[in-house]
Every structure is written in C-alpha cells, then in structure tokens.
Chains A and B, each alone.
Chain A
Amino acid sequence: MKCVVGIDLGSTTTKAVLLDETGQLMGRGITNSRSNYGVACAVAREEALTAARFTQLQRAIAALDISDSSAIKALTEPLQKAFRLELYLEELVSLKEEILKILDAPYMKDYRQPLGEAAEAILEDMRKDAPKLFLGSAPRRSDFFRDIAGAAFTEGAERLAQEKGLPFERLLGLFDRAILDVETRLQPRNFGELLLRGAQWLTSAETANEQGNGRGKIRNRLVDLIEQVAKTPIEEIAFVGTGYGRQTLPFPKDSIRSEILCHGRGAHRVFPGTRTVLDIGGQDTKAIQVDGHGVVTSFQMNDRCAAGCGRYLGYIADELNLGLHELGPLALGAKKKVKVNSTCTVFAGAELRERLALGQRREDILAGLHRAIMLRAMSLLARSGGIDNEFTFTGGVCKNPMATKILGELVQENYGADIALNIHPDSIYMGALGGALFALDDVKEGRAGILPGFAKKEVSS
C-alpha cells in the first residue's frame, strides 16, 4: 500500500501523519521531542506506521463477510492495548540493559551490588504490574514510555530506598541517565510479530472467563488476518517535514514546508469552512488567513519573545505547583478577572506572587492571566487582517477550556456573534496533516521528495 507522510517537529512534541493515496487518514503518531529531533522524527513516524497497520487490520476485518466478524471486531481494541503492553515490555528490557551498563562504570563500584539488586527488583515489579496497567480499562495519563516508566520507577525507588536504607537520589539517578539512552535507541518494530505476541495476552485473558468453542476459530481467523496485514508492505512515496525543528534535520530542501502553510492547510482540511486560523503552541502564536482552498493569504506571528504562548502557561502552572491541564478548569471558577499587566513569561511568576500577596483569589488571577494571553492573540489576529467566518483555533493551548471560553467572548465582543469558532480535540496534528497534504500534492506534480536511508541516518545522529 502506498502512502504519504507529514512530520511536524514541534518544540515540545513531534507529530507524524500518514495518508493513503486518496488522502484518507491511515495513522498518526506523537512523541516527545527530547533533545534529539532525528530520533523524535523516526519514533513519531514509527508510531504513525503502527497506527496505519491497525487501520489496515480494521479495514480487513470490516471487509470480512462472515457471521462472526463482529466477534473479531470486538477484539481490535483489546488487541491494541496488548500491542502497547508488548512494546512497553520490550522497552523495559532496554531500560534494564542501560541501567546495568551504567552500574558497570568504575565510579559505581561501591554501589554496584546494592543498587543493582534494588534496580532489578524495581524493574521486575514493573514487569509484573505492566499487564494491569495496559490491559485494564483505566485510561493512562500519558502514552510516552518516559512518563509511564518514570512514574513506576520513582514509586519503586521511594519504597526500596526507605526499606533498605539506600540513597534515593542515586537510585533514581540510574533511571534518569538510562532513559536518555533508551529513548534515543531506535528499534525497528516488527508489527506482525509484536501483534501476534499481543494476541496471546488476549486469548489467555479471554479463555479464562469464556466458555464455548467458537473462540478457537475466531482466534485462528484473527491470526490469519494479522499475518496478512503484516505481509502487506507500506510504501512511503512522499514526505514533507515542518515545524520548529525542521531546519536541523537532513530533510531535502524541497521537502520542507513552513509550519504556517501546513497549519493553515491542515485546519482547512478538518474544517473546510475555515478562513482564519489561530494557532497557539509551546513556542509561538500564529494568526493565519486562508482562502477557499486552504492556501495562506496572510499571516502574523509573535516576534522573538514567547510571551503569552503555551510555555507561559507552563511556567504559571509550575509556579502554582499545578499540572498544566488543571489551570483552565481552576480558572473557570473565577468570580472576576483580575487585570494582569504583563504576559511576559519572565515576569509572570513575580506578578502572580504579588497578586497573591495582595490577597486576591487564585482563580481570579488565573482568569486574568488567561484573558491577557487571549488579548495578545486578538491583537495578532487583527494585524493579520481580522477574523473571518469560520474561525479555527489549533495548537496545544486550545485544550485549555478557559482559553477557549475567553476567546469566544472576545470574538463575539469584537467581531459579532456570527463567527463560528471551531476547535478539534486532535488539533495538535493539524501541522503534520497539512504537511502530508502537501506531500500528496508533490506526488501529483511529480516532484515527491523521499528521504534516502531516512531511518538509518537518524540512528547515527
């Protein structure tokens, strides 16, 4: 099967989107950008490829014309969970290898035995706990290995350090060092093999509480389908890179598109009525005008200073000891909006503490901060030519309910009630989606760029 790839290298996360030749979404992947864009790029692409395989599997199941196809269909979700579990287990093995390597260093001589034993005990517990973590129905907070394994390792290290009187910092230090190497180590995935291993989790879990003998037949058919999908090659026929880190990668020049063009195009694809786009990401804010075809006609972005961007909210959350996702809901409880003078990231903490010292409520101050950010975005929008119907809000900050509420109010205040405000839960992928659409154009125009030895280059970088 042929497909095109768009990759968006953001300052915080790297996203990849795979489209088939007809422009249908096949898969998408996301990973933290780490300090290595090359690896982030390859991992996001691998994630998107995996998702595309699942899409293929779903399509194959949907095409089945048999009475028990619904029973097979019901297995796809548990199968995806089992696949994630297998990946996690594989990464745990890498983590153990890296930790043992660190313990081999001469300066670790005095700690090698006690720390080594403790680390192995923690990792063994993590391995045992993994099925519960992945196969259960509770949603995970993060999909990134660094976050999941980090939380579990910290918990284990705390417990063992107390029980055995070991130095906690040193024990956790093992993880902090090892995770860097685990994250930058690239392992090509064998989809079929991993999924077949995953399928074993599935069936053993189900035979425990299911009677009847139809199961064996369904399992066999599923295995057939998996093998069939895994055998179908996915050929990447074009590729476009965009985002903050695009210049640092060995992308061919013709395969790089500005993120402004990509965000405009992606937003227009998801909401075809879009004429104005606001994107607030980690590092910058963009106001973009597009025509009826999604082509950018005008844009404005913040200057060098990152005031009022996602990073600003990050600092505020740190200052209040809150998670980034808690800020918006908390601010919704405001009784009034405190007037905030600065959206400067550097002064944010000082102003916040000053307001708190004056006895103002956290909720009210936060409401004022959110309003200050959105006012800044409104001025950028005005500079780009104003807001036309329909108006689409994208980027990480559009997940913040207070930000979207205030934006809605300001739009109505300044441009009237007739402007439709579009927000999509997956808007973080808009840039990569736009990139993939440009790649599709390149194919049609006979100038598709594909990276020679793409994956190989990443490994050595």
Chain B
Amino acid sequence: MVSSSYTRVGGLYDTGFRHDPGNPLESLADYCLGCYTNLNLSSRVDLLEQHIREYKADGLLINSIKSCNSFSAGQLLMLRELEKRTGVPGGFIESDLVDPRYFGKANIENRIQSYLQMLDARKNRRQA
C-alpha cells in the first residue's frame, strides 16, 4: 500500500497544511475547508489521480463504509472516473466500522483475493 485517502481526513499535510497554535480558530477553519471529506468529488478525483500517478500504483481499492456517507457517497462514480483517466483498475469492497452486520469476512477476503488475482491476470496478459 503506497497511499491512502483516509490519512487525509486529518488534513492535507502533504500539500503543506499545518495547524497553527498561534491562530487556532483560523487554522481550524482552514482545516475544515480543506480536509479530504470536505472536498467535492472532482477535487477528490484530482487528488487520487495525482497519488496514483506519483506512486505508479498498480491498483486502487475502495472500501465503502455503510454508515459513513461523507466518505462513501459517490465512490463508484469516482472509481469509474479514475479508471478512465489512469487506466488503473479499481476494486470495491463493502463493510462498516461500527455495525458488524455489514461485515462478512469470507466475502471481503473473496473480493480482495479476486481483485489481486485480476491484477495479476491483467499484468500477465499485457506482458504476453
């Protein structure tokens, strides 16, 4: 794993954002306006595209969280758009962080395994 959007919920530190203890309210406002979950979909896509290219990622795996709309809304649209722009195949799994009814271990393992094998198969096909 080379990059993750989840780590940008606390702020886009990699693009230079820092909390300023001298200006707490202003920097908090800055943070709120710029953190990942407050970006619109096209800005999120731009950001993820940049990461895919920068790290030369082989794939993009999205974990949809049933009870977190601020993360999960529009994820399939973003996935398709990123596939179109970068040619990197996306994978999709669904679970939840609070509600165990939405978590099925066998199902998630199956999807991740299928996704990784799909990446391998596509790589082999390109080399052949």
Contacts and interface: CB of A to CB of B under 8 A. Distances in A.
Contacts of B47: none
Given A258-B118, A296-B122, A383-B92, 19 more contacts: A247-B106, A258-B110, A258-B114, A258-B117, A260-B118, A261-B118, A261-B121, A284-B107, A295-B118, A296-B114, A297-B89, A298-B83, A298-B89, A299-B118, A301-B110, A303-B107, A304-B102, A304-B104, A385-B80
Contacts of B56: none
A293 B104 contact: no
Interface string B79-95: 01001000001101010
18 contacts: A247-B106, A247-B109, A258-B110, A259-B110, A259-B114, A261-B117, A295-B118, A295-B121, A297-B89, A298-B83, A298-B90, A301-B107, A301-B111, A303-B107, A304-B101, A304-B103, A304-B104, A383-B76
B76 A291 contact: no
A28 interface: no
Interface in A301-348: 301, 303-304
Contacts of B3: none
A299 B111 CA distance: 9
Interface string B47-90: 00000000000000000000000000000100010010000011
Consensus secondary structure, chain B interface? helix
A15 interface: no
Contacts of A258: 110, 113-114, 117-118
Interface of B: 76, 80, 83, 89-90, 92, 94, 101-104, 106-107, 109-111, 113-114, 117-118, 121-122, 125
A260 B111 CA distance: 9
Interface of A: 247, 257-261, 284, 291, 293, 295-301, 303-304, 383, 385
A184 to B, nearest CB: 24
Given A297-B89, A383-B76, A303 B102 contact: yes
A296 B121 contact: yes
B107 A304 contact: yes
